[in-house]
Structure 1
Amino acid sequence: MRGTDRHMDQRGSGAGRRVRPVGRVFPAGRVFPPGRAAFAVVLCTVLVAPGCAESKNGSGADADSTGNSKRSEGTTTTSSVPTDTSSSPAYAEPGPHAVGVTKLAMADGRSVVVYYPADQAATADKPRATYLQTDGIPADVLAGLPQPPEGTDLTVELPAFQDVPADPDGPFPLVLFSHGSGGWNGVYGLPLSGLASWGYVVASIDFAEYGLLASFGGGSGVDRSALGVVALGAADLLIAESAKPTAVLSGSVDESRIAGLGHSAGAGTMFQLLDDPRISAVIGWAPVPPSAPSTTGTPTMIIAGASDIAITPDEAKQAYDLLQAPKRLVVINDLGHNAFGDSCLAIRSGTDLILLAKDLGLPIPDRLLDLGRNGCGSEDLDTELGWTVIQHLTVAQLRSAFGTDSDPVGLGAGITTAFDGVEMTYEFEEK
Structure 2
Amino acid sequence: MSRRVTPALLASAVLLAGLAGCSADTPPGERWHAPVEPPTAAATPTPQVPAGTAPKRAFAVGVRQLKLDRDGRALPVTLWYPAAGEAGGAAKQLASAANGRFPVVMFSHGLGGRPDDYATLLTRWAAAGFVVAAPAFPHTSRGGDGNVLDVLNQPADVSYALTQVLALNAKPDEELHGRLDAERVAAAGHSAGGVTTIGLFTASRDERLDAGVVFAGTALGVGTAFAGASAPQLFVHGELDEVVDYAAGKAAYDKVPWPKAMLSLPKGDHGRALLSDGATLRVVSDTSVEFLRWSLYGDAAARKRIPTDATRGDIATFDDHL
> Is TM (by shorter chain) over 0.5?
yes
Whole-Å separation in 1 of the counterparts to 2:274 and 2:224: 27
Whole-Å separation in 1 of the counterparts to 2:14 and 2:274: 21
Q: Which runs of 5+ in 1 are unaligned?
A: 1-54, 69-90, 129-157, 346-382
Aligned to 2:150: 222
2:31/2:244 contact within 8 Å kept: no
Bigger mean CA offset, 316-325 vs 159-168: 316-325
Q: Which runs of 5+ in 2 are unaligned?
A: 1-12, 23-27, 33-53
Q: Does 1:295 align with 2:226?
A: yes
Q: Structure 2 counterpart of 1:116, which letter?
A: Y
Aligned to 2:263: 330
Q: Structure 1 counterpart of 2:160, which letter?
A: G
Q: Does 1:113 align with 2:43?
A: no
Bigger mean CA offset, 263-272 vs 401-410: 401-410
TM-score after normalising by structure 2: 0.75
Per-residue displacement from partner, 1:299-346 (whole Å, max 9, x unpaired)?
11101112321223222211212322211111023222233543xx5x
Per-residue displacement from partner, 1:66-99 (whole Å, max 9, x unpaired)?
769xxxxxxxxxxxxxxxxxxxxxx9xx961110
1:172/1:201 contact within 8 Å kept: yes
Match of residue 16, structure 2, among 27, 48, 58: 58
Match of residue 411, structure 1, among 290, 303, 306: 306
Aligned to 1:176: 106
Q: Let me know the Cα RMSD of the aligned residues.
A: 2.9
TM-score after normalising by structure 1: 0.57
Q: Does 1:204 align with 2:99?
A: no
Whole-Å separation in 1 of the counterparts to 2:278 and 2:14: 29
Match of residue 166, structure 1, among 97, 106, 111: 97
Q: Does 1:233 align with 2:160?
A: yes
Q: Structure 1 counterpart of 2:128, which letter?
A: W
Q: Structure 2 counterpart of 1:100, which letter?
A: G
Aligned to 2:318: 426
Per-residue displacement from partner, 1:6-35 (whole Å, max 9, x unpaired)?
xxxxxxxxxxxxxxxxxxxxxxxxxxxxxx
2:111/2:148 contact within 8 Å kept: no
Bigger mean CA offset, 398-407 vs 179-188: 398-407
Whole-Å separation in 2 of the counterparts to 1:194 and 1:321: 28
Aligned to 2:180: 253
Match of residue 242, structure 1, among 169, 177, 184: 169
Count of equivalent residues: 272
2:262/2:319 contact within 8 Å kept: yes
Say which SS state the counterpart of residue 246 (structure 1) adopts: coil
1:114/1:201 contact within 8 Å kept: yes
1:384-399 to 2 correspondences below 5 Å? 384-399=278-293
CA 423–387 in structure 1, closer or farther in 2 if over 3 Å, else same: closer
Which gives a bigger RCO, structure 1 or 2 (Cα 8 Å, sep 6+)?
Answer: 1
Per-residue displacement from partner, 1:97-156 (whole Å, max 9, x unpaired)?
1100000011343200000000117x9xxxx9xxxxxxxxxxxxxxxxxxxxxxxxxxxx
1:272-311 to 2 correspondences below 5 Å? 272-274=199-201, 275-289=205-219, 291-296=222-227, 297-311=230-244
1:112/1:205 contact within 8 Å kept: yes
Q: Does 1:265 align with 2:157?
A: no
CA 248–266 in structure 1, closer or farther in 2 if over 3 Å, else same: same
Q: Structure 2 counterpart of 1:250, which letter?
A: H
